[in-house]
Structures are given as C-alpha cells and as structure tokens.
Amino acid sequence: MAEIKDVKGIGPKSLSLLNKLNINTVEDLVTHYPFRYDVLKRGSLQETEDDGHIIIDGKVESVPILMRFKAGLNKMNFRFVTPSGVVGVSIFNRAFLKKQLEVGTGITVIGKYDKKKNIITASEIKMGILSNKERIEPVYHCTSGLTNKNLSSYINMALLMYGREINDYIPEEYLEKYQFVNKRTALNIVHNPPSMDKLQDVINRLKYEELFAFMFKINYLKRQNKLNNKGLSREIKETDIKKFIKQLPFSLTSDQEKAVSEIIEDLKAPHRMNRLLQGDVGSGKTIVAFIAMYANCIAGYQAALMAPTEILATQHYHNLKELLKDTPYHLELLTGSTSKKEKQQIYENLKNGNINFIVGTHALIQEEVEYNNLGLVITDEQHRFGVNQRTNLQNKGYMPDILYMSATPIPRTYALTIYGDMDVTIIKERPKGRKPIATYVKTNDEIKDVLTMMYEELKQNHQVYVIAPLIEDNENSGDLKSVCHLKEQMQLAFKDKYNIDIIHGKMATAAKDLIMQEFLQNKIQILISTTVIEVGVDVPNATTMVIFDANRFGLSTLHQLRGRVGRGSAKSQCILVSDTDTKRLEIMEKVQDGFVISEEDFKLRGHGDLFGTKQSGDMEFKIASLRQDYKILLQAKKDSEEYLKNKDTDHKELKEKLISGILMN
C-alpha cells in the first residue's frame, strides 16, 4: 500500500506533523475521524437578535475594501446580499481572502450581527453557499502547524488516490445483511457528510466494523487458547511461599491472600492460567504479581512482567529488586532505552536461563527476545495494552501462564464480553491504615482557596497534579480549561517558586516518560495534564490532585485520577472544581470505593463511565465506544463468532487479513 508521503500535497513538514498525531499510514490518515461535527444552519437577519451569533449565506455584492493598520493588522468591508436582505460585512486580518471574494461569489459568513448598524463582524468566511439550509463540518484533532482545513484536504486527497485500497474488515455477507455501504463510500461520507441521517448510518457502520474486528480477535484468541490449553504444571511448596510472604514489610490483606492462592493453584495445575486480576487503584495488585513470579521462579521457570510505560516498568524493577535482595535470583530491566550493549547481554542471559525475572515494557516481546523456559507472563494495567501485544509472547511458541492486572472496575457482564474466557479474581479490600483521600468540590469563584490549598502542600515540599479537559484553548472550547492555559495561570500565581510542567496524550512516549521521571524525582512540583496522566505510577510525595471542569468527567474517571494521590503516608486531598453538576460530584466527597463509584456512575449515566480515564490498548477505538455502543458490540460479537465457526477454508482472505493484524502488531 502507498505511504503517506505519496499523497499529493503532503511534504516532509506535514508528514512529521501528521506523525505527531500518530498518523503513520494512509489507513491511519483516512481513519483519523472527526471528533465532532459543527452544523452550520442558515439564519436570517430578521430572526437574529442584536449582537447575536449568525451564520448566513449569499453573494458578495461589492468589491471588498481593504484597510491596513499598524502591526500588520487589516480589515475588509464589503456588501453582501442574502436571502433575508442586504448587509455589510467586516472581517479582520483576512486580507488573503480578497482575491477570492469577487463580486457575485457565493459564500457563507459566520459572525456577530449588529442590528442597528446592519453589519456582521465575521469571525469566519467559508467559500460556497449552504445547500439544504445547513452544512456539516467535520472537526478534527489538530496540532499546531496543521489546521483542520489541512487535515481535511489531506484526508480527501488520500481517499481520492487510495480509497479503493483501504481494508474493509466487514465480511461481504454482513455488508449485505446490514446493507452497509462499502468502506470507501463510508469514509467519504464520514469526512464529508451530506446530511445528518446519512452520517449517522455511516458512523454506525464504521463502529460495527471496528467492533467486529475487535471481537473477531478476541474470539480467535479464545479459540486458540482452548486449542492449546495444555500448560505447565509445577511443584510449589506452600511453606516456601509463606516464608517469602512473611518477610514482606506488611501483611497481606485477606483479598490479596485469596488472590495469591488462586494464582498458585493455577500455576500448579496442568492447564494454562489465563487470569485477570482486577482491583481498585491502590489495592495492592503488584505484590500479588511479585509473589506469583517468585513462586514460578522457585519452581524453576522464568517470569516476565510487562508494564505499559518505561517509568512504571522501572518502578516495578526497583521494588522487585528490593524484595529479591536476599535471594540468589537474577533480575533485569529491559525497556526501549536500555543500551544496545546491555540489551545484547540481556538477550543472551534470557536465552541461556541466567535471568530469572525480567521486567520491562513491550520491549519484552520484540522479535529478538528468546526465553529459556518462560513460565509466567504478567501484564500490568492490562487495559493499556492491545490484544495484539498481549498475544505476541504466546505466538513465539511459549505456553506460559498468563496474568493480567487491571484497575478498571468493569461490571461482570462487560468483563465477560471483553475478556472472553478469562478467569477473574477481584481484590476489593484496601490495605489497612490507608487514609481516605479528603475530597472537596469547589466552584470557580473559590479558585483562591484552591490555590491556597495547593500552596500549603507545596510549602511542605509536597507535589501537586492538576488536570484539565483540553490540551490547548481553541475557539470552540468556551470556558473549558486547557492544560496550556492553566500552565500560564499557575505560573502567574506561583511566580518562579515552583517548577511547573505539562503532559498530555499528543506528546511522544519518550517525552511523556521524561516528564514523569522528573515529577517522580521532584524536579517538577506542579504537573498539569489531561486525563492521560500515566496510570499506575506511584509518586508518594504527590499529595494533591486538582481537577478542573470536573463535571466533564465520569465518576470512575475522577476516581482513577484521585488514585494517583494517597500513595504515601502523608494525608492527601483531591479538589474537584466545577460550577455545575455539584450534586453528582459530591458523591466523590463521600465514597472512596471504586466499585461503588462505578455503580453510582452506572445509575446516573446509564452505562456510566466504565472504562476509567483512558481506553487504551485493546479498548482504544477510533470511532466506537464500548460504553455507548454496547448493543453494536454484542451484535459484532455474535457475528464474529458465527463467522469464525464457518469452515476454515471459507473467506480465507479476510480471515488472514484479520489474523495477520493480530500477529503483526
């Protein structure tokens, strides 16, 4: 298939900007879906209030007169004929439009209408009139240097050139059954919607496709797991495990004990373990994983622990190293930034069995890595990994037992769908002595209090997280807070006393890891972030979490964010800033249990915000949402099961396409 750089109009500069948005292939580009649509509905001069917002189309009636001011500013005036009368239009700083605004040209003007003067001060002029009284405009996630307009034109050019080559993951029989349009048409419509009805149909079709491919993978894996259910059985002496547990700095909660014994039973049994360990943030899943790794090791096998980020992997490595310091066992850390030389050494020692424990990122499942006798694989924060990543090890010909850990409280019915045939262990109880995280709901008027509360903590050398819903301010964001804007405000408020930095999802992994590392080392005192704030990381010195526009988030998301603090011995607090929806937010003041909160959310918002802060890995969809599209998911599940059951020779090509997707990534 063609590469992005082959798309007409995309040069090296645009290419790197696109990569910044994680658009690396033509398929990525054409499936960079709008996150919103603006509907431009034609208004009339009579019906618009004085100083009211207006969108109106018509024809340019007089040659625009251009005035230039100091500092490069300019203004253009022209007369404009609309179906509801003639009106004057002024627009600032669009001198470049002058050529296009010839007399008689059809345009759409968006702006504010001054009734007395009969003038529209335009914020925007779009070429062309509105057909059908309305125009639907896709709005994309952009990055600085790459506008909505650029994206739209690149996407359309890519569709024009390569639209036929884009994979359609819906088998023909289902395309027919549901009377879905083909992929190319669907993409054309989603990026250039002619009407809301057509758009909705196509969105459903694309959601179905995404969920079909997802469920196909899950069902395929389920089938493979069943076929290769034979696993390792090992001898493990209870007394050895008890001895190890006894020397821990704390005693296990009874839920942790139960989880340990279920896992040990799995390790001993001849079937392959395929278990999900679910527990609220801070419930202490990591130690359970370490004990399982230890048990596996004394039975003579290697264990691998995989974390979604380098920083989390590094943290696990140090903790495990501490636990193993009086044992003869050998532990290593393998991540993207391990030097080439060290890597070679580690590969060699993994292969010859000198390494007993390996902790790392998905560097652990790269092609070059070979194990001697891999017995157990654990993935932390499993919702952050793709199905693809989690199957790679199995596909290397190893048959290790597998444990997934996740902090996302998912109701059982959902878990059963998404996790196929895994066994599920739940840790409900929190370690003893954990202080609740004092939670306060504040309004924007009380911002001074909030800053004071932050300052009190900063003075004690503690650190603060600040969360906002947006990365940058944009014209449509209204009063919503953005990370960049808050950084300026915080810098004003705290002068140069503290180091303030930002982190968000559009940053490269290495940059994010670096910022997290600096926060962990207290080189940054105030970290401002969108909700992508790294999962799982323990920064015990961070005692305060401030969440702006808290009403924008589901309770479960708020709970996950709150779980970033309260990890050390110091008292912690979480401040939710919002002027509206305070009743719902007050639940957070009273409840500390993630499962209870998830249920409250469920009651309040229908499906609730079940998947927490970030739907990454196998739950990251481009257009579908597990929460909102559960019905489509169930249909896709049923269809993909049926499809997979058909004779293997059927639909060979599509199956290969779907399965190669699983193996390749």
Q: Which does 88 bind (CB under 5 to 8 A by kind): ligand ADP, Mg ion, none?
A: none
User: Encoding tokens for residue 89?
Assistant: 């239009």
Q: Which is nearer to ligand ADP, 218 or 331 (CB)?
A: 331
Token output for 388 = 């693809």
Show the tokens assigned to 435. Answer: 């202080």
Question: Does 614 engage in binding with ligand ADP (CB under 6 A)?
Answer: no
Residue 503 three-state SS? strand
Question: Closest approach of Cβ 490 to ligand ADP, in Å?
Answer: 27
Asked if 407 touches ligand ADP (CB under 6 A), the answer is: yes
Q: Which of 14, 156, 278, 286 binds ligand ADP (CB under 6 A)?
A: 286
Q: Residue 315: which of Mg ion, ligand ADP, none does it interact with, CB under 5 to 8 A by kind?
A: none
Q: Report residue 122 as tokens.
A: 């335009």
Is the Cβ of residue 210 or residue 280 nearer to Mg ion in the bound state? Answer: 280
Give the three-class secondary structure for 330.
coil
Task: Give the residues across from 108 on adjacent strands.
Answer: 57, 126
The stretch among 156-164, 224-232, 534-542, 611-619 that binds Mg ion (CB under 5 A) is 534-542
Q: Which is nearer to ligand ADP, 463 or 640 (CB)?
A: 463
Residue in 35, 250, 373, 646 binding ligand ADP, rule: CB under 6 A? 250
Q: Is 285 in the site for ligand ADP (CB under 6 A)?
A: yes
User: What whole-number distance in Å separates Cα of residue 404 and Cα of residue 410?
Assistant: 14
DSSP letter assigned to residue 368: T
538 binding partner (options ligand ADP, Mg ion, none; Cβ < 5 to 8 Å by kind): ligand ADP
Q: Do 528 and 470 touch, CB atoms closer than 8 A?
A: no
The secondary structure element, H or E, covering residue 298 is helix 285-298
- Interface pick for ligand ADP out of 82, 219, 253, 615 (rule CB under 6 A): 253
Enumerate the β-bridge partners of residue 360.
306, 334
User: Applying CB under 6 A, which part among 54-62, 222-230, 284-292, 357-365 lies near ligand ADP?
Assistant: 284-292
Rounded Cα gap, residues 356 and 363, in angstroms: 17
DSSP conformation letters of 52-112 = EEEEEEEEE-SPPEEEE-GGG-EEEEEEEEETTEEEEEEEES-GGGGGG--TT-EEEEEEE
Which residues are within 8 A (CB) of 541 and not within 5 positions of it... i.e. 6 or more apart? 461, 462, 463, 522, 568, 570
Between residue 81 and residue 140, which ones bind ligand ADP under the rule CB under 6 A?
Answer: none
- Residue 592 binds ligand ADP (CB under 6 A): no
> Closest CB to ligand ADP among 234 and 567?
567
Number of residues binding to Mg ion, judged by CB under 5 A: 1
C-beta closer to Mg ion: residue 211 or 291: 291
DSSP-assigned letter for residue 456: H
**Among 13-21, 92-100, 283-291, 650-658, the segment contacting ligand ADP (CB under 6 A):** 283-291
| CA-to-CA dists, residue 167 to 163, 333, 335, 500, angstroms | 9, 38, 33, 44
Which segment (67-75, 164-172, 258-266, 536-544) binds Mg ion by CB under 5 A? 536-544
Residue 384 in contact with residue 310, Cβ under 8 Å? no
The answer to the question of residue 158 lying near ligand ADP (CB under 6 A) is no
Rounded Cα distance, 192 and 267, in Å: 54
When asked if residue 536 is in the footprint of Mg ion (CB under 5 A), the reply is yes
Task: State which residue, 536 or 566, has the beta carbon closest to Mg ion.
Answer: 536
Q: How far is the CB of 380 from Mg ion (least distance, A)?
A: 6
d(CA 53, CA 121): 10
User: Segment 328-357, which members bind ligand ADP (CB under 6 A)?
Assistant: none
Contact 306, 360 (CB under 8 A): yes
Angle between helices 285-298 and 254-268 (to 10 degrees): 30
Candidate list 58, 111, 284, 612; residue touching ligand ADP; CB under 6 A: 284
The helix-helix angle for 509-520 and 310-323 (nearest 10°) equals: 50
Answer for which of 279, 308, 612, 617 binds ligand ADP (CB under 6 A) is: 279
Question: Is position 193 an interface residue for Mg ion (rule: CB under 5 A)?
Answer: no
Rg of the chain, C-alpha, whole Å: 28
Tokens of 167: 């994979």
Q: Which residues bind Mg ion (CB under 5 A)?
A: 536
Q: Which residues bind ligand ADP (CB under 6 A)?
A: 250, 252-253, 256, 279, 281-287, 407, 431, 536, 538, 567
